[in-house]
Structure 1
Amino acid sequence: MPSPSRSQTQTKLGSACEQQTVSLKSPLGLIHISSCREGTHTIQISPDCSDCVCGCVCADDQQELFPECVSCVTWLKAYFSDPNTTHTLPSPTIHHPILQGGSWTACVLRTLQSRVCVGETVSYARLAQLAGRPRAARAVGGAMRKNPVPLLIPCHRVCLSSGGAGHYMGGHGDQLKLWLLEHERNTSQ
């Protein structure tokens, strides 16, 4: 198996992070996890995976992965096995500049991560209320589009007030969102 790919990325705080990227085969397709020694930077889902599996298989040698990357892979494998088991694991550390400050986006994403549990959904308007700006439902949508770590910060759980699922990954992942919501509902019963 190939070893993780490595690159340097400059953070907003000015320090360079040595990052590694690992791919995970999942029911959604290929998931690319980019991490440094401080935590996970990004998660990208590529749904065009012709040979993806029902479980999760790490496509790289985990012995060479940063501990924070291993933590993220472990958490994602547990999520796809049974989302209800993830609360028994330590939450993977997220080390992305967008979450290192006190911006509105960071506030919304942290609120979503801490207040909306597996199997639950929340409307954009309700999430705006929970984050302290009740009239900012549209801004919540903007924050969801900036989420660097879908699944860890469960933006798929944010739905329309009308009860519709709404878009996911810019509208290209709407079927993925429906799959994730159903996956959580089925294992929450």
Structure 2
Amino acid sequence: MKRRRGGRGRESESQCTQKTISLQTPLGTIQVSGCEAGVHTIRLLMDVAPAERNDQGHMSCEVIDDPAAVGAGPELLHCVDWLRDYFSDPRAARGPRLPQLHHPTLRGDSFSSQVLRTLLQEVRFGETVSYQHLAEMAGNPRAVRAVGGAMRRNPVPLLIPCHRVVPSSGGSGSYMGGRGNHLKVWLLAHERPGGEG
């Protein structure tokens, strides 16, 4: 069990008892952490190269930890199910509701929070948006650099699809500080209709 301490205005965060579940996915190991109220973080560990689809055209996503032993709450379990659907067939993950999110960055009223909420609500599977256009959608067309900062601080990649934000000049752009560019390319291909991860 981990207790997280928050700063000023984060009293509810400091009261969260977080659990973590690890999954083996086509992107390598992913760790999902959350409390009873919702998901706090998703970490992509980048421990293997992205996988190929199997003969049936599907990807596997297997839980490494026993969720019962971890004592995972319902939203964390729902996140695991959502990720399984996403990697098997991203179109299958469109229907079910997203897990509740409980990271303080996502509950605040900062511009970063607004950008992340806008991205979550407005940019769909198989779509991309430029940093410039996302700044406009979030209400501040001149805040392109701030949008980039919000993408770097996104606590729940995949659920909030920062991989769908690309430069206006073309190309896929940077992901995870440039270390995960190959993952961004894979994710964008995975979400395209008939796309190959």
- Shift, 1:186, TM fit: 4.1
CA RMSD of aligned residues (A): 1.8
SS state at 2:94 partner: helix
- Shift, 1:94, TM fit: 0.7
Q: Write out per-residue CA displacement over residues 79-115 of structure 1, whole angstroms, 9 at most, x where no aligned residue.
A: 1011111121111111001111110000000000000
Matches within 5 A, 1:59-138: 59-63=64-68, 64-138=71-145
Identity of aligned residues (%): 52
Please name the residue that 2:45 is paired with: 46
Greater shift, 85-94 or 139-148, is seen at 85-94
Please name the residue that 1:167 is paired with: 174
- Which of 55, 59, 65 aligns to 2:60? It is 55
Letter in 2 for 1:13: R
Structure 2 CA distance, aligned partners of 1:84 and 1:67? 23
Structure 2 CA distance, aligned partners of 1:80 and 1:20? 22
Letter in 1 for 2:63: C
SS state at 2:113 partner: helix
- Shift, 1:187, TM fit: 4.0
Total equivalences in the alignment: 183
5+ residue gaps, structure 2: 53-58
5+ residue gaps, structure 1: 1-5
SS state at 1:25 partner: strand
Retained in 2: the 8 A contact 1:82–1:187?
no
Q: Write out per-residue CA displacement over residues 40-83 of structure 1, whole angstroms, 9 at most, x where no aligned residue.
A: 10000011148x89410001112332111101101111110111
Q: Which runs of 4+ in 1 moved over 6 A?
A: none
Retained in 2: the 8 A contact 1:83–1:187?
no
The change in CA–CA distance for 1:188 and 1:175 in structure 2 (over 3 A counts) is closer
Structure 2 CA distance, aligned partners of 1:106 and 1:184? 24
Please name the residue that 1:8 is paired with: 3
Structure 1 CA distance, aligned partners of 2:42 and 2:194? 23
Question: Structure 2 length as normaliser, TM-score?
Answer: 0.88
- Shift, 1:188, TM fit: 6.8
Structure 2 CA distance, aligned partners of 1:116 and 1:77? 21
Structure 2 CA distance, aligned partners of 1:140 and 1:49? 29
